Structure 1
């Protein structure tokens, strides 16, 4: 039994996965960080740890194995117990147990299990698609003295030029006001006559148009046939995720690629980080979803994962 595979699947959704009579794998959310000296950006993630004191069987791991392998719960519990017995014997002999994408386990000098986590996989689904990157440092140049000189000179020059312009404008404005006063009476009377003429012409045109509309008859001799569209809407709360993309156009390309391969791919919205999520398909049954996930991981994408979410 590949026990680490089932543990890894559950760590995406749960903060504690207990292996009965062995210990518990715990996750704790860690916020995004920036290294002060290297300017490296690290996305948010789940930090893994192991607690040997938590060994009570909560049924989570056994139920999951029973669902995936289609076996009774009791049989799954027995298989886990046999695997734990084998793991303890390896540790006693001084061997190091390597759980893929989880970490290494070995006994220390005091006979306690020492856990070294693996950093190859981020179990925080909200950060899917984010990776580490290094940003170049920002250099700044100061021009303080030059800026202070410009700030002192510009207002003085602008005020002097504005005063000269305002004096010239006042002369021309006085002449213009006098001319407008003399001609204003005649212009007002002329435009009043034009306005009355336009009003009468507009009323006649509106009356003629209304009469033509009332007399018109509209006949459609060859109506278009009704069209029926059959739309297969995907439903279900179990979504097998192919990836999450910062740019929406990249998510559109991914959907086209997956559909060309025969998947019923679609976009299922954005997560809290604004990444556009693309799903291979959505399923109403947990069993169908896990079957599809296992098949996709084996054949095309080992990084595919399952999102359980009710879409609006």
Structure 2
């Protein structure tokens, strides 16, 4: 199945790969760890999981398929949908679907899809080339008994050394005298500087007041007032260009559409955590529908209308 190859390729670069109408494969980074009983070191990795609730097409898988197979995007969407229908039919018949390097899918008694991940591949590129390995436990020798025996035979006695402390007294007195004299000199120097600065500050204020009183300002040719016109898009009808898992991709899409002449912008993150990009927003539903049909005919057959009140 070619679909599993595309999913596996995307899992190296993205944390979520959605298969439309089937579910999303998610990755969660796990740090390196040591198994205490087996003394096995395991490198960091991405752990796979599956969420059946995330089925809306975010364009990631279909765009990748279209790029690899050199086919139109809509053809890729139909091919994915065909393979998903086949997977669901096998699951209903009670079979287990094995996706190479990804895991196994099967239905439980309630009709929900269960996922058992594969541990053959580590999708964390930072851990490329790393594998688990076993290490022998470090045997540490204890020398406590030997040290106690040596101390019993040759005890070590520490005695304080007797020294004359008279010269220390004189030195301490000299330090105190030097400190006091330095303190007095410093205070006198600081007071002189402060007095000088105060006199200079008063003289500067007198000169400034004189200049202000003598100055007369006359504006004969005032500049015209500047008028800025900022266009802000409003409306609850939005023609959607796409929804992106990575915010940088949505920013690139907005830049591309604006270069093509659209009033594109981002309108926030939807409930699935995807950054939505729109060609434009409209107050009137009919204007939005007309714009959507024009965009579908011109460049993007998957453009669709979203009715949403923005904050």
TM-score for both structures, normalised by structure 2: 0.49
TM-score for both structures, normalised by structure 1: 0.48
